Amino acid sequence: MQVLVCLAEHAGEPVSKEELMKAVWPDTFVTDDVLTRSVSELRRVFEDDAKDSHVIQTIPKRGYRLLAAILPVNGAGVTNVQAPPLTVSGRTMSFASYRKLWFGTLAFLGVALLQFGLLTGFNIGGLRDRLWGTSPPPKIQSLAVLPLANLSGDPSQEYFADGMTDALITDLAQIGSLKVISRTSTMRYKKLEKTLPEIARELNVDGIVEGTVQRSGDRVRITAQLIHGPSDKHVWAQSYERDARDVLSMESEIAEGIASQIHAKLTTEQELRLTPGRPINFKAFEIYLQGKYHLTRAQDVESQNGQQETQQLELGLAREFFEKAISEDPNYAPAFVGLAETWLDRPVREGGPEKARGALGKALQLDPALPQAHLALGNLEHLRDWNWSAAEREFKRAIDLNPNLADAHAGYADFLDAMGRFDEGMREYLRAQELDPGHYAPEPSPFFRRRQFDKAIEMDRNDIARAAFGMYPHWDLARNYEAKGMHDEAIREWESALRILGYKDLANAMDGGFKSGGYKGALKEWVSGMEMARAQGAPIPSFVLAEVYSYLGDPDHALAWLEKAYEERDDALSGLKFDVFWDNIRQDPRYQDLLRRMNFPQ
């Protein structure tokens, strides 16, 4: 309407886009697209053809001109274009006659519309639904947020668009009555050309949220729309624009808008979590997002042969960005969690566990209700420090704060399995898979730990067939084949895993050992090659060497390497009590003593 008024004030004259945007949106950052949509909507209402316009004319590279005649009424001051005389059946009408006819028509229409509105408004006899073909909005109980598109015109801003996507998922995930798919599952659709019904079916969700992010200086604009996935039916859409300092408040507002549309039930605590807090330090937030980007790159090359230097470089950059974010805003808790995650898996000699604990303590001091901090602390207690009761407490707290945090359910499932609480563990594992279908399968798989080898083999084969999760299903499949005595098949899968990890020489040595000495010949070549590669700096865990010696029936070497893993606080030791590959040494007193020192519950 404001666009129309502005054009009417200059009827018959060209009005530039710049003039229109300055007049209609004087204090708001918008793009030409907003003006174009406004003009398009006006043309739709007036049934005006842009190619043969009689109402609003587009003037290429300049702007627009209103062609329709303007009739001043009630002393309005629009006088630059005179309306042609109004005629009815060839007879010229006075303005007074025209107004009398017009108001009489309006009165008649008003009565008719009132009666019609009563019938349709109350849907008497289902009249509204029959006339309009309307139906109640589709019920949505599960959501997936697709990666928000970067409209900034700057590819280097992709990290920012990804960060906004992550923030929206985090806000929505706090709604306990709603299932929200994790980021790792939805990010793979960033470059995949699939229809929304296809995506909804693959992720098993009712609703899809998609949208765009645009930055201009200190202004951020986000558009979001909610689609009923199976039917591809539009449910809701909204545009938001804020100063960059209020960007997270804007994300919370979007989440609240979506929750309102689908009538999601919020607890008091969830409402408080979605209530915008203090404005963030946008510079610190941006730096934090860059730290997350480099941390992800470091995790992507973890365990890859020949990538140690790259991993260290990326971890160093991540720490540098997180520390810079903390320097910019010492009260920004997520930056401390990010810093802790750069140390969580690092060796004892580097002070990894202690540095992670220090950063997490600071994060929780700043924000005791930060789910990611509790999850990271749960992983630290479980995998590195073996404080079992503390680990369970932290996992449960993370899940209470964010019931849709798939990583928390996965971590808790792994913990419960390590404690031998297999029924509870399976429930958490299935919940994690439901929330994050793209999450890599635990290794070893939960079916392997339950000695359901055929089920584990079927799952691993399916993952390999669809080229999912890299080397993990190959490694797990090898373990299951070994447990079933299918030694030839096990060797082939371990070779495949090694090649994916970049250990081509080790895979070739295994193949040669298999040809000359069968199953044990392959294992001997493998373990001696690993010991040599480790001595040269390759990231080969002590735990893996102990596992292969256990397969060889060599308890002395297996337990020596397990002792080394204990000194290093290897995260794989958390499953020591129940993992199948220790069956050969399970009764050895040295093995039992190790369990005792790790304080496993009896």
Q: What is the pLDDT of residue 284?
A: 92
372 vs 83 pLDDT, higher one: 372
CA dihedral over 340, 342, 346, 350, signed as positive or negative:
negative
Q: What is the pLDDT of residue 114?
A: 54
Q: H-helix or E-strand containing 219?
A: strand 219-228
> Predicted confidence band at 535 (pLDDT cuts at 50, 70, 90)?
very high
pLDDT tens-digit map of 275-316: 655 567 888 998 999 999 899 889 888 878 878 889 999 999
Mark whether 216 and 107 lie in a shared domain: no
Q: What is the pLDDT of residue 105?
A: 47
User: Is the per-residue pLDDT at 4 higher than 70?
Assistant: yes
Least trusted range by pLDDT, from 31-40, 86-95, 476-485: 86-95
Show which of 279, 295, 317 is a domain's final residue: 279
Question: Does residue 162 sit within a domain?
Answer: yes
Helix axes 406-418, 371-379, angle to 10 degrees: 30
CATH number, residue 263: 3.40.50.10610
Query: Rounded to the nearest 5°, which phi and psi values hold at 150?
Result: -85, 110
Tokens 């609480």, located at residue: 421
- HSE of 452, CA atoms in CB hemisphere, 13 A: 11
Which of 42-51, 52-61, 435-444, 496-505 is the most confident on average? 496-505
Q: What is the pLDDT of residue 107?
A: 54
Q: What is the pLDDT of residue 276?
A: 57
Chain mean pLDDT for the chain: 84
User: Is the per-residue pLDDT at 89 higher than 80?
Assistant: no
Mark whether 150 and 241 lie in a shared domain: yes
pLDDT tens-digit map of 161-208: 888 898 888 888 878 788 998 887 888 888 777 888 999 998 899 999
Mark whether 96 and 179 lie in a shared domain: no
Least trusted range by pLDDT, from 26-35, 302-311, 524-533: 26-35
Question: Does residue 150 sit within a domain?
Answer: yes
Mark whether 61 and 164 lie in a shared domain: no
User: Is the per-residue pLDDT at 503 higher than 70?
Assistant: yes
Q: What is the pLDDT of residue 86?
A: 40
Q: H-helix or E-strand containing 253?
A: helix 247-261
| 293 closest CA partner among 190, 162, 427, 188 | 162
Question: Does residue 581 sit within a domain?
Answer: no
> Predicted confidence band at 29 (pLDDT cuts at 50, 70, 90)?
low
CB 282, CB 269: distance < 8 Å: no
pLDDT tens-digit map of 457-467: 999 998 888 77
Query: Rounded to the nearest 5°, which phi and psi values hold at 213?
Result: -130, 135
Question: How many folded domains does the chain comprise?
Answer: 3
Question: Does residue 423 sit within a domain?
Answer: no
| Nearest-angstrom CA–CA distance, 379 and 574 | 11
Q: What is the pLDDT of residue 551?
A: 95
User: Is the per-residue pLDDT at 478 higher than 60?
Assistant: yes
Mark whether 46 and 9 lie in a shared domain: yes
User: Is the per-residue pLDDT at 525 higher than 60?
Assistant: yes
Question: Does residue 320 sit within a domain?
Answer: no
32 vs 109 pLDDT, higher one: 32
Mark whether 119 and 190 lie in a shared domain: no
Show which of 31, 66, 101 is a domain's final residue: 66
Q: Residues with Cβ < 8 Å from 146, sequence gap 6 or more? A: 165, 186, 189, 190, 199, 208, 209, 210
Looking at residue 119, the DSSP 8-state letter turns out to be: H
Q: What is the pLDDT of residue 277?
A: 55
User: Is the per-residue pLDDT at 1 higher than 70?
Assistant: yes
Question: Does residue 72 sit within a domain?
Answer: no
Dihedral through CA 200, CA 205, CA 206, CA 208, nearest 10?
-60
Q: Tokens at residue 5, please?
A: 């008024």
The CA angle 562-566-572, to the nearest 5 degrees, is 75
User: Is the per-residue pLDDT at 127 higher than 80?
Assistant: no
Mark whether 151 and 269 lie in a shared domain: yes
Q: What is the mean pLDDT of residues 17-24?
A: 83
372 vs 100 pLDDT, higher one: 372
| Nearest-angstrom CA–CA distance, 376 and 586 | 31
Q: Tokens at residue 226, please?
A: 């909610």
User: Is the per-residue pLDDT at 256 higher than 60?
Assistant: yes
Q: Residues with Cβ < 8 Å from 552, sequence gap 6 or more? A: 520, 523, 524, 527, 558
Question: Does residue 169 sit within a domain?
Answer: yes
What's the chain's Rg over C-alpha atoms?
32
CATH number, residue 6: 1.10.10.10
Q: What is the mean pLDDT of residues 381-388?
A: 96
Q: What is the pLDDT of residue 175?
A: 82
pLDDT tens-digit map of 555-601: 999 999 999 999 999 999 999 999 999 999 999 999 999 999 999 98
Residue 104 structural domain: 92-132
CB neighbourhood size of 315 (10 A)? 21
Question: Does residue 38 sit within a domain?
Answer: yes
pLDDT tens-digit map of 408-453: 999 999 999 999 999 999 999 999 988 988 666 667 889 999 999 9
Least trusted range by pLDDT, from 31-35, 138-142, 356-360: 31-35
CB 410, CB 428: distance < 8 Å: yes
Q: What is the pLDDT of residue 338?
A: 97
Pairing, β 142-145 against β 179-180: parallel
Q: Residues with Cβ < 8 Å from 162, sequence gap 6 or more? A: 147, 148, 187, 289, 293
Q: What is the pLDDT of residue 104?
A: 52
Mark whether 219 and 185 lie in a shared domain: yes
Mark whether 148 and 254 lie in a shared domain: yes
Mark whether 124 and 235 lie in a shared domain: no
> Predicted confidence band at 335 (pLDDT cuts at 50, 70, 90)?
very high
| Nearest-angstrom CA–CA distance, 51 and 218 | 38
